[in-house]
């Protein structure tokens, strides 16, 4: 299957200096693929000098005159920058010139533009942001990581269906187990939305495990963890902050004295191997799930390796038919609106 990925070459903290070399590496490791680099022509061409002809033949440069700023209000980016690299890249997916789009730009703008241009899949009210996180057992697909701060029970069920489809596609799990993120105390088990979502999930036909708590994510209790975007965003950022703090504490201990520096030298291969195992670059690439097109968001600060992983993730979602799988999951589910009509009353 020949896949073309549209890359927003201008997005992220480093722009073409990262996005172009990452695209080249992706093309090298993925035969039968093409990349459309979207952005300011000069900046991109500069990075394409000395690229071998065979590789160059699989690259198209598509000029776009504007760039969405990292801190630009999404509504402004959507309304005013019709020729931004982000928007043009998404347009390429819409018109079928590319099967997926990858950007390291402004998340809010990417979501707003993708939603406006591509629209959501049938049965999906709003898209969600999904990502894989490392667990003791492998990895878990977690969503929503920040697109929807307030969610209805029906939306949480849609997230579950989409997460299930993504886990099947990317992790090759036939019937992924679904956990609904909740709190543990018996008397306060969840707010009303989570309680109703659990009821709906039990009747959804999905492989619903039940409620899970925060520590279950990294324990790998379920293949998919579903939550609203407020909780998911706090969870993800908290994890980043904690990992960063622990890393700094460990570093501080190993650099405390000549003796501990010697220990660090001896332990270096072990510590490197540990660091590789939880390298966030391995997990780079969050999927904007629920759109009529594959859109992957890279971390803004990603380097060549990280951004390359985001492109590879977009590619895998196309070849593994994530969109079709979502449509299939949704089609076999009992109508959510009917199911919830009773609970709402």
Let me know: does 4 contact 34? Beta carbons within 8 Å. yes
Query: 70, 17, 31: which is closest to 304 by C-alpha?
Result: 17
Nearest to 227 by CA among 159, 298, 141: 159
Residue of 57, 246, 335, 341 interacting with its own copies (CB under 8 A): 246
* Bridge partners (DSSP) listed for residue 288: 129, 295
Residue 161 CB, nearest distance to its own copies (Å)?
A: 22
Beta bridge partners of 66: 84
Residue closer to its own copies, measured from CB, 55 or 250: 250
Binder of its own copies out of 185, 258, 337, 345 (CB under 8 A): 185
Q: Is the peptide bond prior to 161 cis by the omega test (within 30 degrees of 0)?
A: no
Type and span of the H or E element at 309: helix 304-319
Q: Does 183 bind its own copies (CB under 8 A)?
A: yes
Ranges within 204-243 binding its own copies (CB under 8 A): 213-219, 227, 229-231, 233-243
* Stretch touching its own copies by CB under 8 A, among 9-17, 69-77, 201-209, 313-321: 69-77
Position 125 contacts its own copies (CB under 8 A): no
Whose Cβ is closer to its own copies: residue 2's or residue 273's? Answer: 273
Cβ contact 176:167 at 8 Å:
yes
102 binding its own copies? (CB under 8 A) = no
- C-alpha dihedral sign at 277, 282, 284, 285: negative
Tell me the pairing of strands 128-134 and 286-289. Answer: antiparallel
Residue 197 found at the interface with its own copies (CB under 8 A) = no
Which range, of 5-13, 52-60, 253-261, 295-303, touches its own copies by CB under 8 A?
Answer: 253-261
> Is 134 a binder of its own copies (CB under 8 A)?
yes
Supply the minimum distance, in Å, between the C-beta of residue 16 and its own copies. 24
Q: How many residues does the chain have?
A: 345
Cβ atoms within 10 Å, residue 45: 13
Binding site for its own copies (CB under 8 A): 71, 73-75, 107-108, 111-112, 134-136, 146-150, 181, 183-188, 190-192, 213-219, 227, 229-231, 233-246, 248-250, 253-254, 256, 260, 262-264, 266-267, 269-271, 273-274, 277-278
């Amino acid at each position: 299957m020949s896949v073309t990925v549209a890359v927003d070459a201008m997005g992220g903290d480093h722009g073409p200096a990262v996005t172009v070399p990452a695209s080249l590496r992706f093309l090298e490791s993925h035969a039968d693929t093409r990349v459309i680099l979207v952005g300011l022509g000069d900046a991109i061409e500069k990075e394409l000098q000395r690229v071998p002809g065979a590789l160059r033949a699989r690259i198209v440069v598509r000029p776009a005159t504007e760039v969405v700023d990292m801190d630009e209000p999404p509504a402004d980016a959507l309304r005013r920058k019709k020729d931004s690299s982000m928007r043009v890249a998404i347009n390429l997916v819409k018109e079928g010139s590319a099967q997926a789009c990858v950007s390291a730009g402004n998340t809010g703008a990417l979501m707003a533009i993708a939603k406006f241009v591509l629209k959501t899949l049938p049965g999906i009210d709003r898209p969600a942001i999904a990502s894989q996180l490392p667990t003791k057992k492998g990895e878990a697909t977690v969503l929503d990581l920040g697109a929807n701060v307030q969610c209805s029970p029906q939306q949480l069920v849609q997230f579950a269906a989409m997460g299930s489809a993504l886990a099947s596609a990317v992790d090759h799990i036939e019937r992924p187990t679904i956990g609904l993120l909740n709190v543990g105390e018996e008397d306060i088990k969840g707010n009303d939305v989570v309680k109703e979502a659990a009821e709906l999930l039990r009747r959804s036909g999905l492989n619903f495990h039940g409620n899970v708590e925060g520590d279950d994510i990294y324990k790998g209790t379920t293949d998919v963890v579903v939550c609203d975007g407020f909780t998911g965003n706090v969870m993800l950022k908290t994890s980043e902050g904690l990992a960063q703090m622990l890393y700094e504490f460990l570093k501080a201990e190993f650099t405390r004295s000549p003796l501990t520096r010697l220990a660090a030298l001896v332990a270096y291969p072990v510590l490197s191997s540990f660091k590789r195992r939880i390298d966030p670059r391995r997990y780079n690439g969050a999927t904007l799930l629920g759109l009529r097109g594959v859109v992957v968001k890279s971390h803004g600060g990603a380097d060549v390796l990280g951004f390359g992983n985001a492109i590879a993730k977009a590619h895998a979602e196309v070849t593994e038919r994530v969109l079709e799988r979502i449509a299939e999951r949704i089609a076999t589910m009992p109508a959510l609106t009917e199911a919830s009509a009773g609970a709402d009353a």
